[in-house]
Amino acid sequence: MSIFIEAGIRVIVAFVFLLITVLLLVWVERKFVSDLQNRVGPDRAGPWGILQTLADGLKSFMKESIRPSNAEMALFIAAPIVALLTALLIFLVIPIGAPIEINGTLYPLVAMDLNIGLLYILAISSIAVYAITFAGWASGSKYPLIGSVRSAAQMISYEAAMGLALVPVVIFAGSTSIATIVEQQGGTFFGFIPAWNIVLVPSFVIFLIAGFAETNRPPFDLVEAEQEIVGGYHTEYSGFLFALFFLAEYIAVFNISALTATLFFGGWNGPVFGPTWLTYLLPIFWFLLKTWAFVLFFVWVRASLPRMRYDQLMSFGWKKLIPVALAWIILVAIAIGVRDFGMPWS
């Protein structure tokens, strides 16, 4: 029975961590965007407006959830729950720090270390498409439907690119377990350059672009393009159900940032020194530092780039990203083959 209790504690800690992170993330995004746009941003609730998200969350709880008369109620309610669940589930395989030793037992700081971790992430993010598809269809109105059809096409297209971008990482690390991929990045080149997977630059770039598209963030947010289709798939949502979608989107942003930091920037690897408690805290600090750097990058891109057109989005995904990813896989495979087996003529 203790195995169930341990699993339960891990999952609950991960979820609480995510929810607190999102409270902070929404505030950071609004503050950072307003700084970039020469505005003040939220500054009323709490010091520097830091409690603004909490206030907004409470407000959405109090508000009425309007039920459109054309909606398919069961799916209409299920869609935001699916969105939130998939966003929460992806985080479970990301290690946030070095394993901690208590009474001679090593506890990895990850909710579950699957040996198929990377594939699990791809599987769950392909499920996330359903939340938006269901939401659009169940709303029983035409703008949400257009938005959800757009999103389904967009997410399938960029999921292919994302999966292909991860293949070189798997070839390089020789494993699909995320814990193993992080541990493999622990060494150094020439004693001082950290041996992170960032040497796979094309993979990193493709993964990041596909990540923007997967999370429906600008410049790929034509799923919810306000000028064309009102709010896209969440046009008919209000109150608590809308808050769930909102929460899911920001958790997804944090997940993609954490994944980028983990897969390409060494995860929790970094200089560790001092007493034992510090050697446990520092890896968590490095992980959070790298992740938040990418979160800020997401916000920076949002404030800088205009939205893409739909045909640009499709031709960019299928005609540029995927061919480049395929060519890069072949190059990496040949390089690793030469490293392991020598030249074909030798």
Residues that bind other proteins (CB under 8 A): 72, 75, 114-116, 119-120, 122-123, 126-127, 129-130, 133, 136-137, 145, 148-149, 152-153, 156, 159, 176, 311, 314-315
Q: How far is the CB of 122 from other proteins (least distance, A)?
A: 6
- For other proteins, give the closer residue by CB, 3 or 62: 3
Alpha-carbon gap, residue 163 to 264, rounded angstroms: 15
Residue 225 token pair: 């393009």
Non-local CB neighbours of 8 within 8 Å, separated by 6+ positions: none
Measured between alpha carbons, how far is residue 90 from residues 59, 81, 87, 113 in Å? 28, 15, 6, 12
131 CB-near residues (< 8 Å, 6+ apart): 79, 80, 82, 83, 86, 248
How far apart are CB 207 and other proteins at their closest, in Å? 17
Q: How far apart are CA 7 and CA 78, in angstroms?
A: 25
Token pair, residue 179, equals 């814990």
Ramachandran class of 140: left when φ > 0, alpha when ψ lies in -120 to 50, beta otherwise: left
Q: Which is nearer to other proteins, 120 or 264 (CB)?
A: 120
10 Å CB burial of residue 202 (0-12, 13-18, 19+) is middle
Which is nearer to other proteins, 176 or 203 (by Cβ)?
176
User: Min. distance of Cβ 132 from other proteins in angstroms?
Assistant: 10
Residues 6 or more apart whose CB falls under 8 angstroms from that of 115 comprise 175, 176, 177
**Which of 66/74 has CB closer to other proteins?**
74
- Residue 343 CB, shortest distance to other proteins, in Å, is 21
Q: 70 vs 304, which CB is nearer to other proteins?
A: 70
State the nearest-atom distance from the C-beta of 192 to other proteins, in Å: 34
Nearer to other proteins, 143 or 287 (CB): 143
- Least separation in angstroms between CB 88 and other proteins: 17
